[in-house]
Amino acid sequence: MLKRDQIETFFTRLQAANPEPKGELNYVNPYTLLVAVVLSAQATDVGVNKATAKLFQIVDTPQKMVKLGEAKLKEHIKTIGLFNTKAKNVIKLSEILVRDFKGEVPRDRDILQTLPGVGRKTANVVLNIAFGEPTIAVDTHIFRVSNRTGLAPGKDVLKVEAALEKRVPDKFKQHCHHWLILHGRYVCKARSPECARCIVRDVCQFKEKTG
């Protein structure tokens, strides 16, 4: 497990390399971000962006989504995995936002998690990106990087999230999950980690480094 000074080095380098990291899902406001994240479950950001390019030009509020309807929504997102279920969830959550929240996305993790298709990870992403909350959304990339490097080991995503909350210095928490996702997606890959070009190689605890 990384020591406190190693964690400081770890994030200082990631920050220096990418001071203002951004999520790779396209969106225009908190509502479209919520929709995009719901659609991204078991799908790639690239695939979601292709599907929502035209959708978000005509639909940018839950009211417009409800008016569009499930059948037409399916036509926009049919290239995404599980699109039938996702379409139902997006329409239902849009109806709830209109009915109970005046069409606004609530800035509350517990409330967000009551919406169809929204789990803790999705809620954390929305809170972080849309509202600037220092939440950490643990996906497969973050889970892998946290365990592989010794940053925040844990047997499940909740334990890794709790470990990151405890171990990551406050000054790095705002962008923590972006740095870790991007590092996992492009460097610390699942099958073939590119250790030779990793900027935190010397503090990483992974024993089977490549290159």
**Confidence (pLDDT) at 210:** 86
Residue range 142-150: mean pLDDT, rounded = 98
Instruction: Catalogue the active-site residues.
Output: 121, 139
Confidence of residue 211 (pLDDT cuts 50, 70, 90): confident
205/147 Cα distance (integer angstroms): 9
**How many other C-beta atoms can be found within 10 angstroms of the C-beta atom of residue 53?**
11
Confidence of residue 84 (pLDDT cuts 50, 70, 90): very high
Per-residue pLDDT tens digits for 1-22: 999 999 999 999 999 999 999 9
Per-residue pLDDT for 92 more than 90? yes
Q: What is the pTM of this model?
A: 0.93
Residue range 113-119: mean pLDDT, rounded = 98
